[in-house]
Amino acid sequence: MASVLDDGGEEHKSLMSGSSDPFYHFKDTLEQRISTLDTALQTLETTVKTTDTATSPLYRTQKKNCKKLLKGCESALRDLSATIRVVEQSRANFTHIDDEELGSRRNFCTTVSARLHTLKSSMNSPAITEKLRADELALARTRGGDLGARSKEEHANTDFIHTQQADATMMMRQQDEALTDLDSAVDRVGNLASTINVELSAQNKMIDELGEDLDEAEARMGLVMGKLSKLLKTKDGCQLWTIIMLTLVLLVLCFLVFYIP
C-alpha cells in the first residue's frame, strides 16, 4: 500500500513540503485515511472469519464503520482532485508546478481512485458473502430444526426451506444497508439545500442593499441635476449632460497641458 501512495510524491516532497501547496496537505490526509481504512477492513475480514455474523452485531458495526471511513477517503480524494483542477485552469499562476509534476499528481489520484474501488469491493467479496450466507443458513437450521422430516425427500425439502430463509435474510440485510445509505444521502442533500438557502438569503440581502444604494444615488443625481439646471437656466437633460462632458474634457486637456511635459 505504501508504494501505491508514495508513487509520484516523494521526488517533489522536498521541494514543496515547506510551501503552502494544498496538494500535499490533502495528500497526507488521504494517505492517513486510507491507512485507517485498510486496518478497519482487515479487522472486518477477521471478524467475518472468526464470529457468527448471523447473531453477532460486531460485523454490522464494523462494516458501518468501514463505509464511513470509505466516504471520508472519497471526500479527501475529491479535495485532492480539486487542487489539480485549479492548477490546470490557471497554469500561469503556478509556474513552480511543471508538467511532469502535474502529471504525477494526476497519476496519483488515478491510482488512489482504483485502490478505493478495490477496497470498496472487498467489503462484499465472494468469500465474505459466502461466509455470511453460511452463517445465516446455520442459524435457519438451528431455529427451524428438521421440521418433522423423516424421509430423504422431506429432509431435502427442509434444506430448501432453510436455504430460502437464509437467502431472504441476506436480501433483507442488503436492502437495509441500501436504505441506510439512501438515508445518509438524503441527509447530505438536505444539509446542502440548507446551506444553499442561507447563501441565497445572504445574496438577496446584498442585492436589496445594492438596490437601495442605487436608488439613493439616483435621487442624489437627480438633486444635483436639478440644481445644475437652475444654475444654467435649462431643463434639457441632453444639454446638461453635454455641458458636463465638455467640462470633463476641458479638465483633461488642462491636465495634459500643464502637467505632462
Lowest mean pLDDT among 38-47, 150-159, 247-256: 150-159
pLDDT digits (tens, 9 = 90+) for 187-208: 778 878 888 888 888 888 889 8
Cell readout for 126 is 465472494
Average pLDDT over residues 32-39: 94
User: Can you tell me the distance from the alpha carbon of 84 to that of 78, in angstroms, rounded to the nearest whole number?
Assistant: 10
Residues in the chain: 261
Q: What is the pTM of this model?
A: 0.60
Identify the CA nearest to 8 among candidates 107, 75, 80: 107
Q: What is the pLDDT of residues 96-110, one digit of tens each?
A: 888 899 999 999 999
Over range 30-54, report the average pLDDT: 93
Question: Residues 6 or more apart from 228 whose CB is under 8 A from it?
Answer: 240, 244
Say what the pLDDT of residue 33 is: 93
Residues 82, 193: Cα–Cα separation, whole Å:
22
C-alpha cell recorded at residue 152: 430423504
Q: What is the pLDDT of residues 109-141, one digit of tens each?
A: 999 999 999 999 998 888 888 898 888 888 887
